[in-house]
Amino acid sequence: MPMSSNLRGIVAMLAAMAMFACMDALLKSLAGTYSPLQVTALRGLTAMPLVCAYILWRGETRAVFGRTLRWRLHLLRGVFSVSMMASFTYGLKTLGLAEAYTLAFVAPMILVALSVPVLREVVVPRQWVAILMGLAGVVIAMRPQPGALVSLGALAVLLAAACYAASNVVGRLISRTEPSATLVFWTTTSLAVGGSVLGASDWVAVRLEHGWILLGLAVTGFLGQLAITEAFRHGQAAVIAPFEYSALAWAVMLDWVFWHAVPQSQTLLGGAVIIASGVYLIRRERPSLPAPGAG
């Protein structure tokens, strides 16, 4: 593949991570007012108009509602997506963005582990060693204070990472027979519908002053999805995927700008171990690694 294509993919990935980091900062600002499930619903509802307009523009409506859709897999992926978004939002209530991202970076390791029983992929011993190193990094990162090993927020983010990895495994199965448009549309729909139904009992009226935040949530999420799709379309997965970790730099900056928070040394050390393990695993991935669906 020409170098220009990989460079285009890298730039698109960096842009995607910037958009997703801004989106998560907006999610964190909403987490203090609304329940995690309502935030999940708002994430899906605000993105739906843009997703529908994009699918109409691409002329992929027939594929999205085709008779050959694998409904059971889409439903399963929807469950994982709703659980991921709700858990991550809950974690953001008590953790800084940098702390949450550090723990969430364990997802590639979980993805590789799940690929063995589900996708029948082969994981060599050195890859298992990298997974164990990544888990060691998680343990380091989960010690933000002396004597404190875990917190509910940290456990929620780890659950979100596991659900994200499981969602991507199911997405790989779906992508073997369906275009990415079906993944984006039905994942967004699951966030909107699932979050609304499950969060109905704790639903509160959306404040007028949060209108701009919701607009930003829709735009950043949509642009981030477009950018990451563009990244995987033009660049080799093993080349561009490590640039996902640039999200940590954005998280540190946003934490400092909006919440005047700086990650502790244990968080950064654990993050470095996790990132090193993740990059090694990604570099060992096959070039056919598909782009993830809507986050």
Question: What contacts 30, CB < 8 A, 6 or more positions away?
Answer: 39, 42, 89, 210, 213, 217
The pLDDT mean for the chain works out to: 86
pLDDT at 48: 95
pLDDT at 290: 43
Mean pLDDT by 10 residues, the chain (295 residues): 71 91 96 96 95 92 88 95 96 92 86 75 78 82 57 91 89 86 92 97 96 95 86 75 86 92 84 87 56 44
Is the Cα torsion angle 181, 158, 45, 252 positive or negative in sign? negative
148 in helix, strand or coil?
strand
Distance CA 206, CA 190 (A): 20
Q: What is the pTM of this model?
A: 0.86
Interior angle at CA 159, CA 288 and CA 198, nearest 5? 105
Distance CA 1, CA 235 (A): 8
pLDDT at 263: 82
pLDDT at 199: 96
- Distances 136 to 29, 103, 119, 158 between C-alpha atoms, Å: 30, 11, 25, 14
pLDDT at 200: 97
Radius of gyration of the chain (CA): 18
**CA-closest candidate to residue 65, choices 78, 55, 80:** 55
Distance CA 257, CA 161 (A): 25
Distance CA 29, CA 230 (A): 28
Question: What contacts 60, CB < 8 A, 6 or more positions away?
Answer: 179, 181
